[in-house]
């Protein structure tokens, strides 16, 4: 069992999403003894956002690639290999301005690749990573899980869309929301999410 543990919280262990994914990984390791965990922190070690030079790296002749293209292409391949090797993805995702942090978007921009993680067919795009599961640790300052605010969620909904697009439809979300309302609400939400992790039916 291989777990890819991706975090995007800016505050290391103090980020709520990182705390949730740490607990998720501990829970998975308890249920899958000997599981191997690979970590990818896109906040502390950001993946460059795409630009033309990076985007054209793969289609540029090897001999003509700039040093930066060689380096960035190697990074893209590393990120893809990490995803291919994983049975389970655990992704920590804060909500920033109603969606995911741009660092995490930059990671998706590298791993969502036609012919590698999805393909185009006559009936539309088809995800190729169909043998994987994902667990999301979602942190939000406000409340979006019900009522009118739900329409403003482009964070969890986007993550489900992207993962589904590459073929990962088995997605479990653990959420701590309202964490910026007050200290007591933050604590209550983290505790509730933690209990939800304990109660997950894994496997």
Ligand X SMILES: Cc1cc2nc3c(=O)[nH]c(=O)nc-3n(C[C@H](O)[C@H](O)[C@H](O)COP(=O)(O)O)c2cc1C
User: What is the spatial distance between Cα 187 and Cα 17, in angstroms, rounded to a whole number?
Assistant: 13
Question: 40 or 140, CB closer to ligand X?
Answer: 140
Question: C-beta of 9: minimal distance to ligand X in Å?
Answer: 3
Task: Give the DSSP per-residue string, 94-145.
Answer: E-BTTB--HHHHHHHHHH--BTTTEEEETTEEEES-TT-EEEEEEE-SS--S
Chain residues in the site for ligand X (CB under 6 A):
9-11, 15-18, 94-98, 139-142, 179-180
Question: 5 or 57, CB closer to ligand X?
Answer: 5
Question: C-beta of 66: minimal distance to ligand X in Å?
Answer: 32
Question: C-beta of 19: minimal distance to ligand X in Å?
Answer: 8
Question: 54 or 108, CB closer to ligand X?
Answer: 108
Question: C-beta of 99: minimal distance to ligand X in Å?
Answer: 8
Extended strands (E) in the chain:
2-7, 36-41, 88-94, 118-121, 124-127, 133-139, 170-176
Question: C-beta of 16: minimal distance to ligand X in Å?
Answer: 4
Quickly tell me which residue has 């741009």 as its tokens. 102
User: What is the spatial distance between Cα 161 and Cα 86, in angstroms, rounded to a whole number?
Assistant: 19
Question: 169 or 194, CB closer to ligand X?
Answer: 194
Question: 111 or 139, CB closer to ligand X?
Answer: 139
């Amino acid at each position: 069992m291989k777990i890819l543990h991706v975090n995007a919280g800016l505050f290391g262990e103090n980020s709520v999403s990182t705390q949730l994914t740490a607990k998720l990984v501990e829970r998975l390791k308890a249920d899958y003894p000997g599981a191997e965990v690979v970590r990818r922190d896109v906040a502390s070690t950001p993946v460059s956002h795409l630009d033309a030079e990076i985007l054209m790296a793969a289609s540029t002749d090897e001999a003509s690639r700039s040093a930066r293209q060689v380096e960035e292409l190697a990074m893209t391949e590393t990120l893809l290999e990490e995803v291919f090797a994983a049975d389970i993805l655990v992704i920590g995702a804060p909500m920033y301005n109603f969606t995911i942090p741009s660092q995490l978007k930059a990671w998706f921009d590298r791993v969502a690749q036609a012919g590698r993680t999805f393909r185009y067919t006559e009936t539309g795009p088809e995800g190729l990573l169909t043998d994987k599961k994902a667990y999301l640790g979602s942190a939000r300052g406000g409340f979006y899980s019900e009522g009118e605010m739900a329409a403003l969620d482009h964070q969890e909904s986007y993550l489900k869309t992207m993962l589904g697009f590459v073929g990962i439809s088995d997605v479990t979300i653990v959420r701590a929301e309202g964490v910026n309302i007050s200290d007591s609400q933050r604590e209550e939400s983290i505790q509730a999410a933690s209990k939800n992790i304990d109660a997950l039916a894994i496997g």
